[in-house]
Amino acid sequence: MIKSNTIVVLLLALITAFVAACGSSSSSSTASSTYKVEYLPGTGMNAPIQGKTSFQIRITKQSDGSAATGLNPSLTMMMHMTNGDSHSTPVDVVSESTTTAGTYNCTVYYLMASGPTMGTWEMNVTVNGETTTFNPDVAMAMGSDTVNQKLYGADDIVTGMSGTSYNKYYIFRDGPVSAATPTLKLHISHGENMMMDFKAVSMGSVLSSPTGTVTSMTVQASSDGGTTWFPAIDNANGHWSVSGFTNIVSSQTNTIFVKMSVNSQDKTTDGKTAAGPNEYATFAVTPGM
């Protein structure tokens, strides 16, 4: 037979659980949000990997599940490393798909892979003030081809109360190179605020002080050891492309030098005055891989 005081305890426990459940439901941001955001990573050869990675996000309305079109979602990335450090990585402009309603095309240029010994990537997708967080799994780059390189100059060495920081230019290979019609595509970003921010670099870009607005910029590439240099075309939003190479061999690793000047200052591998090998970044490129 159950004693009366036991019944009272059981009733109080049930009431407490009911109130807690109601409070939890009413405070849930998911239940009151306007949009449902889904992360659609690529698979196979298109799976997330160190370097350029393209994927999609799908946005639907919570009210009726219909595709949410005409939006301007933004991405912010942060790597939380196992050693306690954090940094961001370059992100390209998000564009709405022209073929699938409510789907948006995204590209991230991952500086490093994720994993138990590396750290965790945090990706925040913000739509009209609502933020959804994902943790993409990013694999290490495979093969011998160069994913990205860095150049910087005296204007990118900043000394403050927290010490000296190097706001380098990160040059990512922005696609494969064909031996038939060889064009080297690049994406260039400027790492700022201790690598917590990255800004795409093209003519007119506004970078951190003292560089400021980019009023002059040249990017050149050579596939013959620096004898012949071909100028790059500025395709806006940090995208550059170089054509004209005549000695790129298919299924063979080719070496391409890339050099750059911003606001009349040559950028080098060590931040010092350009003199010989420090004046260019070296890319290993294998057409057909």
Q: Which pLDDT tens digit goes with each residue over 225-241?
A: 999 999 999 999 999 99
Question: In this model, does residue 27 exceed pLDDT 60?
Answer: no
Topology agreement, domain 33-134 and domain 148-285:
yes
Domain boundaries, the chain: 33-134, 148-285
Q: What is the pLDDT of residues 97-115, one digit of tens each?
A: 999 999 999 999 999 999 9
Per-residue pLDDT band for 5 (boundaries 50, 70, 90) equals very low
The 10s digit of each residue's pLDDT in 80-97 is 999 999 999 999 999 999
pLDDT above 90 for 182: yes
pTM of the model as a whole: 0.86
* Structure confidence at residue 255 (pLDDT): 97
Alpha-carbon torsion (203, 214, 227, 222), positive or negative: negative
Say whether pLDDT at 9 is over 60.
no
Q: What is the pLDDT of residues 256-270, one digit of tens each?
A: 999 999 999 999 999
- DSSP one-letter string for 222-275: ESSTTSS-EEEEE-STTEEEEE--S---TTS-EEEEEEEEETTEEEBSSSS---
Q: Which fold has domain 33-134?
A: Immunoglobulin-like (2.60.40)
- What is the number of other CB atoms lying within 10 angstroms of the CB of residue 65? 8
Q: Which of 145, 160, 164, 281 is nearest to 226 (CA)?
A: 281
Q: Which one of 2.40.160, 3.60.15, 1.10.3470, 2.60.40 gives the CATH number of domain 148-285? A: 2.60.40
pLDDT at position 44 is: 86
State percent of the chain over pLDDT 70: 89
pLDDT digits (tens, 9 = 90+) for 123-170: 999 999 999 999 999 999 999 999 999 999 999 998 877 778 899 999
Name the one residue in this structure whose structure tokens are 């003199």: 275
How much is the pLDDT for 289?
62
